[in-house]
Each structure stands twice: as C-alpha cells, then as structure tokens.
C-alpha cells in the first residue's frame, strides 16, 4: 500500500492475526491524521462535542495504556491526561500539544507491543482495579474494536476537514 500500512495476514495463527489487525488499525488512525495542521487536528466535529482527530489520538493513548500496562502488566500508572481516571478528558484537545499527544500515543503503543510480545500466550490474564480478570486475547480484541469504532469517527472528521475519504 502507498500509505505505509501493512495488511493483516490472510492466513496465519490467531496471535499473528490479532497483532496484524491491531497494527493495521493503529496505522489507519495515523493515516487519517497525516498531513494536517495542528489546528486541523484539533478541529471538533460539531458543538457541543469536543471530538477531534487529536482527541482520538489522546484517547487511544489512554486505551493502550489502560489495557496493556495497567490490566495485562499490572502497572500502577495513572492515565496520561487525568489523575481522576476520567477517560473523557483526553477527548478535549482544544489546547493540547500535538507533538506531546502523538509522542504519548506512540510511546503507549511501544509499551503495548512489548507487553504483548513478552506474554507466553493469549491466555495470560491480568486484572483491572475492580479485580476482574481479562485474558490477553480479550484485551487485543477489545483494543481492536476501540480502534475500529474510533477510526470510523476519524473517517468522518477527516472528510469534514478537507474532503479526504477512504480507508
């Protein structure tokens, strides 16, 4: 592909396929943000919503951090943008630093890849703060669906900014 994304495998094992789809969705969000100015990345969809492409990047940094570092790896780390565990804070990117947001997102993806890669199987479990156990398999599926949903939002946001459409 000319946009730098690698297609997920059409054949292969479960883990390879899950990893491939997650990486494809990560790259899709990056493609949706590519070539835009800082102001464009901060542009919101419609009042009263604060949803923007930059807000989606910030939110996905929180998602990656929460599911991989906090749940799977058991790290006691706060959210990136909220000490009160308020995931909504990340969406409001009106005054956010673009470089900081992308660095945080890319950093959390790096942590997630390391944690997933070190796990001996998809059956590895971690727990959330309430003690609910989640397998790595479920975490991968959940994060894929988060990206899939928000990449749909990103499609609409990007089209509203400059008319660009498509995957």
Q: Where are the domains of the chain?
A: 14-162
pLDDT digits (tens, 9 = 90+) for 7-45: 999 998 999 999 999 999 999 999 999 999 999 999 998
Please state the rounded mean pLDDT for residues 66-80. Answer: 96
Please state the rounded mean pLDDT for residues 93-113. Answer: 97
In which element (H, E) is residue 103 found?
A: helix 98-118
Structure-token match 């156990």, residue found = 133
Q: How confident is the model at residue 83 (pLDDT cuts 50, 70, 90)?
A: confident
Cα distance between residue 100 and residue 133, in whole Å: 32
Cα distance between residue 112 and residue 45, in whole Å: 29
- The residues pairing with 126 across neighbouring beta strands, listed in sequence order, are 134
Q: Give yes or no for residue 167 having a pLDDT over 90.
A: no
Cα distance between residue 122 and residue 11, in whole Å: 18
- The residues pairing with 127 across neighbouring beta strands, listed in sequence order, are 133
Q: Which of 127, 121, 123, 19 is nearest to 72 (CA)?
A: 127
Q: What is the pTM of this model?
A: 0.95
Query: What is the CATH T-level fold of the domain 14-162, as seen in this structure?
Result: 1.20.120
Q: Give yes or no for residue 1 having a pLDDT over 60.
A: no
């Amino acid at each position: 592909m000319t946009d730098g994304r690698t297609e997920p495998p059409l054949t292969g094992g479960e883990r390879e396929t899950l990893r491939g789809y997650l990486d494809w969705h990560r790259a899709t969000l990056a493609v949706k943000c590519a070539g835009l100015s800082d102001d464009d990345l901060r542009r919101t969809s419609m009042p009263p919503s604060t949803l923007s492409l930059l807000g989606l990047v910030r939110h996905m940094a929180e998602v990656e951090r929460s599911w991989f570092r906090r749940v799977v790896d058991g790290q006691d780390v706060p959210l990136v943008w909220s000490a009160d565990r308020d995931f909504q804070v990340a969406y409001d990117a009106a005054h956010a630093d673009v470089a900081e947001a992308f660095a945080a997102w890319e950093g959390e993806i790096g942590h997630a890849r390391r944690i997933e890669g070190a796990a001996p199987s998809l059956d590895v479990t971690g727990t959330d703060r309430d003690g609910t156990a989640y397998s790595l398999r479920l975490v991968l599926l959940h994060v894929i669906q988060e990206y899939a949903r928000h990449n749909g939002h990103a499609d609409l946001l990007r089209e509203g900014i400059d008319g660009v459409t498509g995957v």
